[in-house]
Amino acid sequence: MAGPVNHLAGIGMTSPRTRARMVDRLREQGIRSPLVLDAMANVPRHLFLEEGLQHRAYEDTPLPIGEGQTISSPYTVAQSCELASRGRPLEIVLEIGGGCGYQAAVLARLARKVVSIERIARLVGRARRTLRELRVNNVLVRNADGSLGYPAGAPYDAIVVAAAMPYIPDALKAQLKPGGRLVAPVGSGDVQTMMVIEAREKGYTEREVEAVRFVPLLPGVA
Ligand code: SAH
């Protein structure tokens, strides 16, 4: 990301007012958690995008971040954060598919620590740089294949998966604390189902939320 953090502050499409309108829209779309709404209001989404796209940052749409990947729409990010956190502050969260680092920055306001796994090295470099510029220092970004989670940081209060998984591996569920939640788009077609898995003292509960569209989870690092 070129230039100092506030180089576009004050320009209409990226102003705090534009972000506040995005938050109003999220409320209308059904996001309830004050913690999540507050986090969305405070993370400058445009700074995670390249300059040519920054004016579109607060539209409710996914946008390209290079390497054939996308930043999820504001609603998708807010919804998965709300489902994962249930509106409570969390201790440690795992994000699989960190991309540009935007969702990690939102999660960083909901949790004491975030571990974000991203398979594409160039995106990892960029996410680290942007998070550093924004002085977000409770996110650890790792360049790795997160298909089976990140056991070294487990157990987690929440696991948020930002790329579509054909199914949810048992090894991933096993990284949840009791009471912890896993939120993931599940399916192998263009449209998947957002699933919420909750770990109980014994076993897991599963719930289908709604149809969603995510880029696929891919194997290996790149
Ligand atoms: N949360 C991101 C959304 C990124 S899109 C954001 O806020 O921008 C999903 C990301 O998942 C892509 O960057 C893609 O490279 C990554 N991904 C796909 N398969 C992966 C895997 N097996 N391990 C880690 N990251 C993966």
Given the residues 33, 72, 116, 147, the one annotated as active site: 72
Cα-to-centroid distance, 146 and ligand 1 (Å): 9
Cα-to-centroid distance, 84 and ligand 1 (Å): 17
Residue 115 and residue 138 in contact, taking contact as beta carbons nearer than 8 Å: no
The answer to whether position 1 is within a domain reads: no
The answer to whether position 29 is within a domain reads: yes
Residue 10 has pLDDT above 90, yes or no: no
The answer to whether position 3 is within a domain reads: no
The answer to whether position 7 is within a domain reads: no
Cβ of 96 closer than 6 Å to ligand 1, yes or no, is yes
214: helix, strand or coil: coil
The answer to whether position 221 is within a domain reads: no
Residue 178 tokens, joined: 């009791």
Residue ID of nearest Cα to ligand 1 atom 16: 97
Residue 160 tokens, joined: 């948020």
pLDDT band at 5 (very low <50, low <70, confident <90, very high): low
**Residue 199 sits in which domain range?**
12-212
State residue 104's pLDDT score: 98
Question: What gap in Å lies between CA 49 and CA 44, rounded to an integer?
Answer: 10
The answer to whether position 219 is within a domain reads: no
Mean pLDDT to the nearest integer, 26-41: 97
Burial bucket for residue 209 (CB in 10 Å: 0-12, 13-18, 19+): middle
The answer to whether position 188 is within a domain reads: yes
Pairing of strands 204-212, 139-143: unpaired
pLDDT band at 1 (very low <50, low <70, confident <90, very high): very low
Q: Tens of pLDDT along 44-81?
A: 999 999 999 999 999 999 999 999 999 999 999 999 99
Cβ of 184 closer than 6 Å to ligand 1, yes or no, is no
Q: How many domains does the chain have?
A: 1
- Decide if 72 is catalytic: yes
Cα-to-centroid distance, 96 and ligand 1 (Å): 6
The answer to whether position 34 is within a domain reads: yes
Does the pTM exceed 0.85?
yes
Cβ of 99 closer than 6 Å to ligand 1, yes or no, is yes
90: CATH: 3.40.50.150
Cβ of 63 closer than 6 Å to ligand 1, yes or no, is no
Ranking 37-41, 45-49, 86-90, 142-146 by mean pLDDT, the lowest is 86-90
Q: Tens of pLDDT along 165-220?
A: 999 999 999 999 999 999 999 999 999 999 999 999 999 999 999 999 999 999 99
Residue 3 has pLDDT above 80, yes or no: no
Closest-CA residue to 1 (of 119, 108, 101, 76): 101
pLDDT band at 2 (very low <50, low <70, confident <90, very high): very low
Cβ of 72 closer than 6 Å to ligand 1, yes or no, is yes
- Rg (the chain; Cα; Å): 16
Q: Tens of pLDDT along 124-159?
A: 999 999 999 999 999 999 999 999 999 999 999 999
